[in-house]
């Protein structure tokens, strides 16, 4: 048994959609979540800036007794994870986990990817998919408006439909059978995206896939699960917690605003 906690971080609150799956699936595990709300969004910044920020995020994770860290940010796992120095614990990224799941899911080898500009520019999904299946064809689409839409509660209204259409229309002629939701905000738009691309296309949700992946890690014995007890959850952000409540409820499915602490990430 290994009662060290599982660390999860994101540029902001989007990673809570991954946390949601993790805490549901692993009630005995302790979790620490960090959302770098003072420096979000990562998705439009340069690689150099992202590398610097992720170094700080990992230094903060290092202040806990973690057994693994999940990089629950598409941009950070695309840009920073492949170049990260070794830590005393394994570090997994939602991009890598989702890419692997898409390779397993596809029948025709044609995979679409919706993600932020910086993630798409990094070609991280293509690289990871090519490592597993060199014959697969990947169709990446940068979707810069989808995060602002979700963060403003546009998840099933006319604006959401138009915003999703702007990007998904580029994939309609590509005969994909699998579509990766390559950013943790996008599962909130799942219904609208599924409708836009058609019911036959399998959507890959980073939160679901990460929960499955951690399940495999913990059951393989690679890392031991925690004792049978109630897991504790800690939440940290780097900017004021004042608007945590609405987004937290939307992404995590419950309001934890009162449990959130603010830290100064520039110290790390």
Per the annotation, the verdict on 154 as an active-site residue is: no
Count of residues binding a copy of itself (CB under 8 A)? Answer: 25
3-state class (DSSP) for residue 87: coil
**Cβ of residue 159: shortest distance to a copy of itself, in angstroms?**
5
Residue among 5, 143, 154, 183 flagged as catalytic: 183
Residue-wise DSSP of 152-174: TT-SSSHHHHHHHHHHHGGGTTS
Tell me if 41 sits within 8 A of 64, measured CB to CB: no
Tell me if 102 sits within 8 A of 180, measured CB to CB: yes
Task: Quote the crossing angle between the two packed helices 158-168 and 190-197, to the nearest 10°.
Answer: 50
Closer of 99 and 160 to a copy of itself (Cβ): 160
Binding mask 158-197 for a copy of itself (x = CB under 8 A): xx--xx--x-------------------------------
Tell me if 33 sits within 8 A of 8, measured CB to CB: yes
Which DSSP category does 4 fall into? P
**Cβ of residue 202: shortest distance to a copy of itself, in angstroms?**
28
Both tokens assigned to 199: 């019911």
Per the annotation, the verdict on 183 as an active-site residue is: yes
Beta bridge partners of 139: 112
Exactly one of 9, 20, 32, 39 binds a copy of itself (CB under 8 A); that residue is 39
Say whether residue 49 binds a copy of itself (CB under 8 A).
yes
Binding mask 225-254 for a copy of itself (x = CB under 8 A): --------------xx-xx-----------
Exactly one of 72, 154, 217, 218 binds a copy of itself (CB under 8 A); that residue is 154
Closer of 228 and 242 to a copy of itself (Cβ): 242
CA distances from 107 to 100, 135, 197, 200 (A): 14, 12, 17, 12
Closer of 131 and 266 to a copy of itself (Cβ): 266
Closer of 219 and 242 to a copy of itself (Cβ): 242
Closer of 74 and 207 to a copy of itself (Cβ): 74
Q: Which stretch binds a copy of itself (CB under 8 A): 1-9, 14-22, 61-69, 145-153?
A: 145-153
Q: How far apart are CA 98 and CA 198, in angstroms?
A: 20
Residues 6+ apart with CB under 8 A from 137: 109, 110, 111
Q: How far apart are CA 98 and CA 112, in angstroms?
A: 12
Say whether residue 148 binds a copy of itself (CB under 8 A).
yes
Residues 6+ apart with CB under 8 A from 26: 6, 211, 214, 218, 225, 226, 231
Residues assigned a catalytic role: 73, 183
Residues that bind a copy of itself (CB under 8 A): 38-39, 44-49, 144-145, 148-149, 151-152, 154, 158-159, 162-163, 166, 239-240, 242-243, 266
């Amino acid at each position: 048994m290994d009662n060290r906690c599982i660390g999860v971080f994101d540029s902001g609150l989007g990673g809570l959609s991954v946390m949601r799956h993790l805490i549901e699936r692993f009630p005995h595990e302790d979790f620490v979540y960090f959302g770098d709300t003072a420096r979000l969004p990562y998705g439009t910044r340069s690689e150099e800036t992202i590398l610097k920020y992720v170094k700080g995020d990992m230094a903060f994770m290092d202040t806990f007794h973690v057994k693994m860290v999940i990089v629950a940010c598409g941009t950070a796992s695309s840009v920073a994870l492949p170049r990260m120095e070794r830590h005393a614990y394994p570090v997994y990224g939602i991009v890598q986990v989702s890419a692997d799941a898409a390779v397993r899911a596809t029948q025709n080898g044609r995979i679409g990817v919706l993600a932020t500009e910086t993630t798409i520019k990094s070609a991280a999904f293509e690289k990871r998919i090519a490592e597993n299946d060199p014959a697969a064809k990947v169709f990446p689409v940068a979707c810069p408006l989808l995060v602002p839409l979700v963060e403003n509660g546009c998840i099933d209204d006319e604006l959401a439909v138009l915003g999703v259409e702007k990007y998904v229309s580029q994939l309609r002629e590509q005969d994909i059978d699998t579509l990766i939701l390559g950013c943790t905000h996008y599962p909130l738009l799942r219904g609208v995206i599924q409708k836009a691309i058609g019911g036959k296309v399998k959507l890959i949700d980073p939160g679901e896939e990460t929960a499955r992946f951690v399940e495999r890690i913990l059951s393989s014995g690679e890392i031991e699960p925690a004792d049978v007890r109630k897991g504790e959850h800690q939440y940290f952000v780097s900017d004021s917690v004042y608007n945590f409540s609405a987004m937290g409820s939307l992404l995590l499915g419950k309001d934890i605003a009162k449990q959130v602490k603010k830290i100064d990430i520039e110290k790390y």
